[in-house]
Amino acid sequence: MASSSNLLFLSFFLFLTISQTQAKTFRPKALLLPVTKDSSSLQYTTQIKQRTPLVPIKLTIDVGGNFMWVACEGYVSSSYRPVPCGSKTCKISRSGVCVTQCPPPHRPGCHNNACSQLSYNPYTRISTLGEMAADAVSIQSTDGRSSGPMVFVPGLVFTCTSSTPSLLKGLSSGAKGIAGIGRSQISLTSQFASAFKFQRIFAVCLSSSSQSNGVIIFGNVPYEFQLKDVSNYLKYTPLIHNPRSTRRYYSKDDPSTDYFIRLTSIKINGRAVPLNMSRLDIDKEGKGGTKISTVDPYTLMERSIFAAVLKVFMEETKGMTRVPSVNPFNYCISSKNLGSSRVGPPVPTIDLGLHDKSVTWRIFGANSMVQVKDDVLCLGFIDGGLNPRTSVVIGGYQLEDNLLQFDLVKRRLGFTSSLLFMQTTCANFNFTSSV
């Protein structure tokens, strides 16, 4: 009978053999996940084919999530392998928990001597213990121009978590877990990079439409949207290390797996918004700062920052017709007679000033104003409360139709600002397979 460590060795060996065999025939330059916006939950979801035989699994994307986790209920697969305690994978996952005895019958999610992890639900902010495991996935390749053949990853590490009533609460209908692509050694980015010798780089392009998909591309390739290589438009700002996790429960030496950037100023129509600068820094306890989130549908700002932004924005839109506000927004205007522009409603631009004065992320009307009903547009920023853990959380709506490149090698974030300006969108990726 094979011991767990032999099993791990075996699956590792299999993994190597298969990826080497594949390399002879076809070696992908990059991989691709289609991303769908769920119009009711406002979550961004994807589908991954996992297990033997392959089953499509719907997952909500968490750009700051530290790994992929899946609800174990009904999990059937002949290629499922638990990750043993003490293994290298277990160590780099910073698990800290070993389940030595799981009462039989043993099944996915329940084995002896299994490395365990806390699966985090960012909507309920609840963490649930699950078993780390490796299983097969099939994922589409790409050259950055169009989608290519499916490739097979025999042992993708994830966490299989037994469903408690709260585990999937708050997730988009039908979603079975979270696809985490945060700053960790076991995120999908890190695993795809080591499986196919990619650089640890990925790009996210969220579509503003729930009718047509956006993409996440793993690997370093051009990013072509309707014949336009938008990588030429990338500007860069450093990714900032946050020494403390931003979850509700965490241990003292758990760094955050979220992507933080250094926001230093906000200008509306070129006018500086007065800000309490100390809130824009990350303190020793990991509080403050600015992060990117695909989990929050709209940008959240600490109350004093929000109030200052709102005040200047209102002053700069004085000539427009204010209408009663619509939840969850505070400030709405009539879009009658407002006209439009290539980059959305013609409202004052909002510039996020970053690490260097010359580097700004410009937010146009398409990303600042939300159409809540006919003729009503609301400023799509939300009061993040008095004392939030993170001062500014840049949410999904502000990211849509912008390409973001997360480069873990150079530790920087590349961003394009609105692709509408370049007359394309995130939905323009060519999903027509070249085979």
113, 85 in Cβ contact below 8 A?
yes
- Residue from the set 47, 77, 146, 269 that interacts with ligand NAG by CB under 6 A: 146
Which of residues 62 and 302 has its CB atom nearest to ligand NAG in the complex?
A: 302
Among 6, 166, 371, 434, binds ligand NAG (CB under 6 A): 434
Residues from 247 through 276 that contact ligand NAG (CB under 6 A): 276
Q: Which tokens go with 111?
A: 């084995």
Binding residues with ligand NAG: total (CB under 6 A): 8
Binding flag, residue 430, ligand NAG (CB under 6 A): yes
Binding mask of the shown chain, residues 293 to 312, with x at each position contacting ligand NAG by CB under 6 A: -----------x--------
Question: Which residues does 410 contact at the CB level (< 8 Å), separation at least 6?
Answer: 236
Distance separating alpha carbons of residues 434 and 431, to the nearest angstrom: 9
| Contacting residue, 278, 327, 337, 358, with ligand NAG by CB under 6 A | 278
- Indicate the burial class of 135 (C-beta count within 10 angstroms; 0-12, 13-18, 19 or more): buried
| 183 is a site residue for ligand NAG (CB under 6 A) | no
Contact 119, 177 (CB under 8 A): yes
DSSP assignment of 140-177 equals EEE-SSBEEEEEEEEEEEEEEEPPPTTTTTTSPTT--E
Helices 4-25, 188-196: inter-axial angle, 10-degree rounding: 60
Distance CA 254, CA 188 (A): 19
At 98, phi and psi to the nearest 5?
Answer: -125, 130
From 51, 111, 279, 412, residue interacting with ligand NAG (rule: CB under 6 A) = 279
Distance CA 117, CA 286 (A): 22
| 387 touching ligand NAG, by CB under 6 A | no
Instruction: Compute the least distance from the CB of residue 279 to ligand NAG, in Å.
Output: 4
Cβ distance to ligand NAG smaller for residue 341 or 430: 430
- Residue 142 C-beta: closest distance to ligand NAG, Å: 10
Q: How far is the CB of 390 from ligand NAG (least distance, A)?
A: 12
Q: Which is nearer to ligand NAG, 194 or 276 (CB)?
A: 276
d(CA 242, CA 262): 11
- Owner of token pair 């986790």: 69
Give least dist CB 203 to ligand NAG, A: 18
Q: Which is nearer to ligand NAG, 181 or 205 (CB)?
A: 205
Name which of 116 and 264 has its Cβ closer to ligand NAG: 264
Pick the closer one to ligand NAG by CB: 218 or 429: 429
Helices vs strands, H then E, count in the chain = 6, 30
Task: Please state the separation of Cα 50 from the chain's center in Å.
Answer: 20
CB of 267 to ligand NAG, least distance (A): 20
Interaction site with ligand NAG (CB under 6 A): 146, 276, 278-279, 304, 430, 432, 434
